[in-house]
Amino acid sequence: MATLCVPLPAPEVTGADQPLPAALRAMTVTVPALALLASPAAVADPNSRPGTFAERPRDAAVHAVDGEVHTLAQVGGTVVFGGNFTKVGPVTRGGAGIVDTAASSFGSTFPDVNGAVSVAVPDGNGGYFIGGNFTSVGGQSRSNLAQVDSTGAVTAFDPSPNGVVNDLALNADRLVVGGAFTAIAGQPAGAVASLSPSGSFQWGGTVTGGAVRTVGLSLAGDLVYVGGDFSQVGGVVFRRAVG
């Protein structure tokens, strides 16, 4: 959540009335975690639809999501954001949305996600890989991991991890997936795995005692770093982080 401090006008001083302390002449307003705010600064409009902030009365041009945003990823002039929400501006949708940075407006080309999105990363070809806790993307069955191309279409990439995906790391040769799953692409994998960018299985880890929350790749691409709330990796005790 984000916090806006909206100054209030000072009261008139009449008779024995005294001005309010400066600390009381501000009102704290909590708004959803992602908002597109135009200049001049937006103010709450009681005539606007719920969940919107308009820059002038009866102008509902400035919108916000109605839940949490967990991830942002930019390709060119568009930014994909993912989280746990059901509305983007005035439009009902789930899990992910897209922003046109040139127009400063929410776009409509990203497919609807049935569930929550924890992570989005550019795929290097104008599209995105997304991971989280979902069951479909754009009306197509996709379990927790999917790819959306530059046109907004869901690709054939479908490794279907059997648990939540918390983080992704990508280079030219591999997509590392971290989360709370025991199988991916039809192969056993304990909370971390490596796939080719096309979705072929490369290897699966044996992380136990908890989930992987974050993953990273070395610059050379020969090392994978994982962090989370686990206790062992490959039967060896590593608490919460290993490389």
Q: What is the DSSP pairing of strand 78-84 with strand 68-75?
A: antiparallel
Question: What φ, ψ does residue 24 adopt, rounded to 5°?
Answer: -95, -5
Output the CA angle 156-198-110, nearest 5 degrees: 50
Q: State the pLDDT at residue 8.
A: 36
* 27, 6 contact by CB (below 8 A): yes
Joined tokens for residue 205: 């880890």
Q: State the pLDDT at residue 166.
A: 97
Domain spanning 66-242: CATH 2.40.50.100: no
Q: What is the DSSP pairing of strand 140-141 with strand 232-233?
A: unpaired
pTM flag (> 0.75): no
Q: pLDDT tens digits, residue range 96-121?
A: 888 888 777 777 778 999 999 999 99
Q: State the pLDDT at residue 88.
A: 78
Q: Mean pLDDT in each 10-residue stretch from start to end of the chain (243 residues)?
A: 38 48 43 44 41 38 74 90 83 80 78 94 95 96 97 96 97 95 96 95 90 91 87 58 45
Q: Give the integer Cα–Cα distance in Å for 238 and 22.
A: 52
What are the residue ranges spanned by the domains of the chain?
1-64, 66-242
What strands lie across the sheet with 207-208, from one edge to the other? 207-208, 232-233, 236-237
- Distance between start and end Cα atoms, the chain: 33
